[in-house]
C-alpha cells in the first residue's frame, strides 16, 4: 500500500523519472486556510541542487494543487497535488535494469515486482518521492500550529561531528522555527563548518556520509494515543521507516536506557501550578504508548547515501555473473540535511492523524 493514516490518509504516487510525482491528502478537515507560500518554503528546504553538499539535479519541486481547495480553504474532499519532474537524466540508469546497485532497492524491488518496476533513478523507491511527503507535512504543520503544536529538528550527529542535544524537557517554538532557516540546522553553530567539511571530503573521495537527526514535538496534551498496536511510538515509527535511508529510531534516552537503573530512568512528576510536568524526559514524552504532556523527542539514524561513485562489487541479473559497478549520475554525498524537512513532515502528518483520531481530545 502507498497510503498511510487512520483518520486522514496520505497516498503518494509517481516515479523518480516519470512525468510527475504527487500526493493525495484524504480526510482533511474542511475550512482550513493554507498558506501556499509557507508550503513552498518547506519544499525548498528539501529541494536538490542548491549547494555543493547536494545532488546537482535541479528540480524546483513546484506543485500544482488539483483538487480539495476552493476560495482559500480546504473543502474536506481529497486534496491532490502533483509535482512535475523536469530534470531527469534517464540514460544514466540504462545499465541498472540488470546491474544491481549495492545498498539500493534494485535487487529486492526487481524480485518483488518481477522485473516490471521502473528502475530509472530508483523509480518509486527514490528519495524523490519524499517531495510529496514534505508537501503533505507542510499542510499538516499549519493545522497543528493553529493549536500550539510545533515540530522541529536538528542534526545531532554527522560523520562523527556532534551537535549539542535538545533540552529534553522542552525547547521554545522560536528555537525550533529558527532551525528551519539553516542549511545545516544545528544548535551549536560552530559545528556547521566541520560538518560541511566532512560532507565535501566524502564527495571528493567519491563517497558519502550519514548521521543522526533529533526531532522534537511540543504542545501536545497528555492522554493522546493508545497502548500496544496504535501507540504514539508505533505510529511515528511506522511513518519514519517510510522515509528512505532511515535505519533506526529511539525515543527519549532510547538505547541508553539499557545502562540506567529504574531510579535513573523514571521521570518524576510534579505540579507546575495546575499543569503536570516531569522533571526529566528520559521516556521522550510517552508512557504506555500515550503522551504525558512533555515534548515528544526521538532520534533517527540516516545511513550514508547508497549511490557512490567508487567501484563496487555486485551482480548482473542478465548474465547471472558477478561484476563491478561504477555508479553514474548525480547524487548527494550526504542526505541528512535534506532529510530533516522530510522527517518533520512525516512527524507532522502522523501526529495530525493521531490528533484527529482523538475526537476532540487533542484540541
| Residue spans of alpha helices (H) in 23-161 | 36-46, 106-112, 130-145
Q: Is the pLDDT of residue 245 over 80?
A: yes
Cα gap 32→345, rounded to integer Å: 18
DSSP state for residue 233 in the 8-state scheme:
H
Q: Which of 18-27, 51-60, 128-137 has the lowest mean pLDDT?
A: 51-60
Cα gap 297→186, rounded to integer Å: 16
45 pLDDT tier (thresholds 50, 70, 90): very high
Please indicate, yes or no, if residue 191 is contained in any of the structural domains: yes
Domain residue limits at 228: 3-356
For the segment 250-268, the average pLDDT, to the nearest whole number, is 98
Binding residues: 46, 124-126, 288, 303-307, 330
Give the position of cell 532497492: 105
CATH number of residue 275's parent domain? 3.60.150.10
pTM: 0.94
Q: Which of 241, 320, 304, 332 is CA-nearest to residue 102?
A: 304
Please indicate, yes or no, if residue 289 is contained in any of the structural domains: yes
For the segment 307-331, the average pLDDT, to the nearest whole number, is 92
DSSP state for residue 242 in the 8-state scheme:
T
Angle between helices 232-240 and 336-356 (to 10 degrees): 140
Q: Which of 78, 88, 80 is CA-nearest to residue 64?
A: 80
pLDDT of residue 198: 97
Please indicate, yes or no, if residue 176 is contained in any of the structural domains: yes
Please indicate, yes or no, if residue 274 is contained in any of the structural domains: yes
Q: Is the pLDDT of residue 317 over 90?
A: yes
Please indicate, yes or no, if residue 110 is contained in any of the structural domains: yes
Binding residues for NADP(+): 46
Binding residues for FMN: 124-126, 288, 303-307, 330
pLDDT of residue 362: 84
Give the position of cell 528546504: 45
pLDDT, tens only, 156-178: 999 999 999 999 999 999 999 99
Please indicate, yes or no, if residue 362 is contained in any of the structural domains: no
For the segment 236-255, the average pLDDT, to the nearest whole number, is 97
pLDDT, tens only, 182-236: 999 999 999 999 999 999 999 999 999 999 999 999 999 999 999 999 999 999 9
Give the position of cell 527514490: 126
Mean pLDDT of the chain, nearest integer: 93
| Residue 162 near residue 272, CB atoms below 8 Å | no
Cα gap 81→132, rounded to integer Å: 8
Total domain count, the chain: 1
360 pLDDT tier (thresholds 50, 70, 90): confident
Please indicate, yes or no, if residue 116 is contained in any of the structural domains: yes
pLDDT of residue 231: 97
Q: Is the pLDDT of residue 91 over 70?
A: no
Amino acid at each position: 500500500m502507498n497510503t498511510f493514516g487512520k483518520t486522514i490518509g496520505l497516498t503518494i504516487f509517481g516515479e523518480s523519472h516519470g512525468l510527475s510525482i504527487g500526493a493525495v491528502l484524504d480526510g482533511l478537515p474542511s475550512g482550513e486556510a493554507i498558506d501556499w507560500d509557507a508550503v513552498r518554503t518547506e519544499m525548498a528546504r528539501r529541494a536538490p541542487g542548491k549547494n555543493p553538499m547536494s545532488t546537482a539535479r535541479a528540480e524546483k519541486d513546484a506543485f500544482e494543487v488539483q483538487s480539495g481547495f476552493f476560495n482559500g480553504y480546504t473543502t474536506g474532499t481529497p486534496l491532490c497535488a502533483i509535482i512535475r519532474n523536469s530534470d531527469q537524466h534517464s540514460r544514466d540508469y540504462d545499465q541498472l535494469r540488470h546491474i544491481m546497485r549495492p545498498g539500493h532497492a534494485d535487487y529486492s524491488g526487481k524480485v518483488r515486482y518481477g522485473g516490471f518496476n521502473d528502475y530509472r533513478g530508483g523509480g518509486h523507491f527514490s528519495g524523490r518521492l519524499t517531495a510529496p511527503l514534505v508537501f503533505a507535512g507542510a499542510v499538516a504543520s499549519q493545522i497543528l500550529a493553529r493549536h500550539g503544536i510545533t515540530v522541529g529538528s536538528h542534526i545531532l550527529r554527522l560523520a562523527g561531528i556532534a551537535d549539542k542535544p535538545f533540552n529534553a524537557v522542552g525547547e521554545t517554538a522560536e528555537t525550533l522555527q529558527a532551525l528551519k532557516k539553516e542549511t545545516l540546522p544545528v544548535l551549536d553553530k560552530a559545528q556547521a563548518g566541520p560538518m560541511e567539511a566532512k560532507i565535501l571530503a566524502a564527495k571528493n573521495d567519491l563517497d558519502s556520509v550519514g548521521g543522526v537527526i533529533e526531532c522534537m514535538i511540543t504542545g501536545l496534551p497528555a492522554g493522546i494515543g493508545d497502548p500496544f498496536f496504535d501507540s504514539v511510538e508505533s505510529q511515528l515509527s511506522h511513518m519514519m521507516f517510510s522515509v528512505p535511508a532511515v535505519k533506526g529510531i529511539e525515543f527519549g534516552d532510547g538505547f541508553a536506557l539499557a545502562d540506567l537503573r529504574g531510579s535513573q530512568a523514571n521521570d518524576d512528576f510534579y505540579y507546575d501550578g495546575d499543569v503536570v510536568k516531569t522533571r526529566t524526559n528520559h521516556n521522550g514524552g510517552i508512557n504506555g504508548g500515550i503522551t504525558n504532556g512533555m515534548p515528544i523527542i526521538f532520534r533517527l539514524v540516516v545511513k550514508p547515501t547508497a549511490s557512490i561513485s567508487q567501484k563496487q562489487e555486485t551482480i548482473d541479473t542478465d548474465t547471472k555473473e558477478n561484476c563491478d559497478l561504477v555508479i553514474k549520475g548525480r547524487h548527494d554525498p550526504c542526505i541528512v540535511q535534506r532529510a530533516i524537512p522530510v522527517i518533520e513532515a512525516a512527524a507532522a502528518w502522523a501526529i495530525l492523524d493521531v490528533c484527529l483520531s482523538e475526537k476532540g481530545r487533542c484540541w
